[in-house]
Each structure stands twice: as C-alpha cells, then as structure tokens.
Structure 1
C-alpha cells in the first residue's frame, strides 16, 4: 500500500508531527529518511525490508554504502542519505572535539568515545590531546590493528602532542572481543608511553580500553601506580 493511501494517523510524517520522533517505530523513522518508494513498494515497505537484512540497528549502522545500495528499493541516493544520518547520530552520541569537551574522569572519556569505538571489528589505537584545562584539543588515530608495544611507538604519539602544544594525553583502544581485560601488550605499551611522557613533561593521564558497552581505565585499575 502506498503511503498516501494510509490514514493520517498511520503516515510516518504525520505521526512524527503529532506524536514526536520517540513514538515512531524504527521502520517509520527509516521511511521518513528513505522519503519515496518504488513501483509496488512504499518507503515504509522498503524500510521494513531493510530492517529484515540485519538483526539490530547497530548492524544497520555498520552497513557500507555499497551494502545499502544493493538492497532492493534503496539505491545509491537513499544509501547516501541513510549513511549520513547514521553518522550524524553517532557524532551526536559521542560528541566531537569541536564541542570543547573537558575531561575530569575516565567516564568522561568513555562517554565521549564509546559510540565511536565499541562496535569496531578491528583494534584502533587513538590518542586524545588535552590542554592545561584538560579540554580535548585534538584526536588522532595512531594505529589500526592488533596492539603491539613494538608497533605503537611513543614518537608517533608525542610528536603530535608537541605539534598541538598539548599538556597531557589520554590513549585508548578497543577490544573487538568485548572483553576489556588488559593484555600483556596493553600493559607494556602503557608503561612505555608513561615513561616517555615523564621525560618530555607531557603526562599520560590514562589508557582506556573500550569493550562491548563497557570500558576499563588502567588508572582506576592500578596500572599507573
């Protein structure tokens, strides 16, 4: 059935206007983004078909533009709109460096980065560079792949800290397994970075490991003692 054949209280846009976004189903929200249907299928039909290809919204977010484009009724234009909407949602959840986020606890870091990292399928090692007020002034991906103390060289981290006149840094990486228990390599990498920071006068404040809806602060767990 075409959208315009539905009663007003069943049309996604009208429901959004009258009830607000929180009252709409996943399919209805997607239908609004998809906007138009195709012959024989409304935007709501396409949205429902799209949801059938994944188990949850997290998997939907991970689909590439190419994957979305292959789904019947989506096409490249709609795939681009969907991907842009997913990215905006992730940025709103995670915040951005432009938001001038001040760090006062490991939880602040986790709140800022969890949405960006908890569902990655590869390990990503990221450095956050802070000013004297512990406000994040820059974020940089240092390495992608299995963390190894011989691969993550302190020079790559601290040369960037010097460039942006950072007073302190926080490093973090994800464990795709979801288990945030530090490995021996995690501990070795932390020790090397901490020692280098002490020599340069740029403090390593923490090394945070992101897992599945959880995190571990190596400071809180006593690895910095």
Structure 2
C-alpha cells in the first residue's frame, strides 16, 4: 500500500503540516526528503531501510559521495540535494548568530560550531571573530589536519584578528574520535593564543571542543 493510501494523519507531509516537523520520526523526515520510494517499497519503507543500512541518521547525512550514491534508492541527484540542504542549514545558523551578540546566545553558538565542525573526518581549529560588542564578524577555519601546539601559530591568529578588526574571539576545534574531553595540549595552545592576543587587547572569550553529541566549554570548566 502506497503512502497516498494511508490515513491523512499518518502521511509524513500532512503530519508535518498539522503537528510540525519535530513530531516526525527520522524515517518520516527522510521519506519527505526522498519524495518517492522504489518498486514495492514506499518512501517511508525505503527511509527505514536506509537508516538501518547506514546505522542511523547521522552516518547517512555524513556519508561520502561514493557511499551515499551506492545505496539503492539514492544517487548523485539526491547527494547534491542533501549537501545543499545541509549547507543551507549551516548558513541559517550563521545568519541567526550574526543578529545578536554571541555571548547572549550560548546554545546557538554551540549549535553553529557543532554544525561547522562535527562532521569533519579530520581535526580542524577555527575561530569566531567578534567585534567589541561581541557580534560575529566572521567564522574561519585556521588550521586542519593533525593538530598540536606547533601547528597553531599565534602570529597568524593575531594577524587574522587584526585583519578583521576583531575585539574578541571564540576558538573551537573538533575531535574526530568523538570524545570532546580537552587535552593538555588544547589547554596549552589556548593559553599561548590568549597571551598573544592579549598584547593587542583582543580577548579570548571561550574555546569549545566539539565531539560526538557533546560540546565542552573552557569557560564552563574554569579555564578561561
């Protein structure tokens, strides 16, 4: 039986319009994205199959092009559509963050940084450059790859902060292992950067470590 034969209150699209997107399951949301199923399987059935095959929603959304397109019922057109949707989501979070001072929206800052960094397969060190009212000027990834204290250059970070006329920064980096617990190296790098930026009256407001479902704040740990 196709989705059109279901009771109206159980169809994903109608359910979303009536109850809102948050009321839908992962499979129902994915079914709306897929739009159609395959022979003998409705869009919801296909969505459930895909979630089982990938091991959940996040692995599906973060799958590389080859893995994604190899799955029955998907393909390059769906991959392009998904990547565009994910990028729209990241830009939407960024635009929301730009409307207000970063420190008044700590939850939004966490969501934004997680959206930017969590999916990366490698470690990346980034900064939110803020003006003197702590409004976002720009987000930049400053270093990528295997990071340690030697790969983050205070001189370069100061140069970028001065180029943006920033009055403050929020640092962030991800742990691809999924464990967000900061290392001693993370703390030493932050101290070095804070000292270098302090010479130019530029404050480091926080440093977030992004893991799998957790974002740890240095300020909340009492380290800044």
Tell me the TM-score range normalised by the shorter chain: 0.7 to 0.9
The residue that corresponds to 1:166 in the other structure is 166
Unaligned runs of 5+ in 2: none
Please report the TM-score for the alignment, with normalisation by the length of structure 2. Answer: 0.82
Give the Å deviation of 1:17.
3.6
- Equivalent-residue separation in structure 2 for 1:106 and 1:22 (angstroms): 22
- Equivalent-residue separation in structure 2 for 1:106 and 1:40 (angstroms): 47
Alpha-carbon spacing, 1:49–1:181, altered in 2? closer, same or farther (3 Å) = closer
Map 1:171-186 to 2 at 5 A: 171-186=171-186
Map 1:133-144 to 2 at 5 A: 133-144=133-144
The residue that corresponds to 1:63 in the other structure is 63
Aligned residues: 222
Map 1:8-47 to 2 at 5 A: 8-47=8-47
- Equivalent-residue separation in structure 2 for 1:131 and 1:84 (angstroms): 30
- Equivalent-residue separation in structure 1 for 2:105 and 2:196 (angstroms): 21
Query: In the alignment, does 2:94 pair up with 1:96?
Result: yes
Which consecutive aligned stretches of 4+ in structure 1 deviate over 6 angstroms post-superposition? none
Please report the TM-score for the alignment, with normalisation by the length of structure 1. Answer: 0.82
- Equivalent-residue separation in structure 1 for 2:82 and 2:21 (angstroms): 16
Give the secondary-structure state (helix, strand or coil) at the position aligned to 1:177. Answer: coil
Unaligned runs of 5+ in 1: none
Give the Å deviation of 1:211.
2.8
The residue that corresponds to 1:82 in the other structure is 82
RMSD in angstroms over aligned alpha carbons? Answer: 2.7
